[in-house]
Amino acid sequence: MPATFQPNDKLLVNRGGISHQAPFSDLQDSVQGPLSITSSQITDQDGTVMNGGTPVAPSTGDVLTVAPTAQGAVPPYTYVYEWRRNGSSIGAPSNASYTVVAADVGSYISVLITVSDSDSPPTTASAESDPTGTVTLAVPNTPSIVTPADNSSVDGNSFTLTSTAIQP
């Protein structure tokens, strides 16, 4: 049967031939490892990776999402997100997703992730993601003029134009 320890339980620890008692809570990090963020990949709504390697340029209207993973310390973990434009806080709400806006054009986007474990007091760690490529302005689809199938011509000074807008 596996042993169960409470944070204040004392354990006899032998390190390098020297024995001493230590609270279990002092040993948790050495058993489970220090808290760290192991992934901070940003993807767009299509699943395209926007940062790391060769950064990809998002466009206005794109929804960027980060799905960090953490390890070590005492799970479960709580995440806080700070989206950044050229390294400075955007002031957007602390969500795992961010919608690119016109103010982002010409800048790169990154996110500072802070993770806390469930220990008391909690252990925290932070990491900033690699930046995306430089944000571009999305060009809306423009209507096109289609010549009538019967090749009719303009009559005098007026003509009828029918166009269809294509949704992005």
Confidence (pLDDT) at 166? 66
* Tens digit of each residue's pLDDT (9 = 90 or more) over 84-107: 999 999 997 789 999 999 999 999
Distance between CA atoms of residues 84 and 40, nearest Å: 14
Q: Which residues of 14-30 are buried (b: 16+ CB within 10 A; e: fewer)?
A: eeeeeeeeeeeeeebbe
pLDDT top residue among 139 and 4: 139
Percent of the chain scored above 90 by pLDDT?
Answer: 45
Give pLDDT tens digits for 129-138: 999 999 999 9
Residue 148 CB neighbours (<10 A): 10
Give the pLDDT confidence of 18-39 residue by residue, as tens digits. 444 444 444 444 446 788 888 7
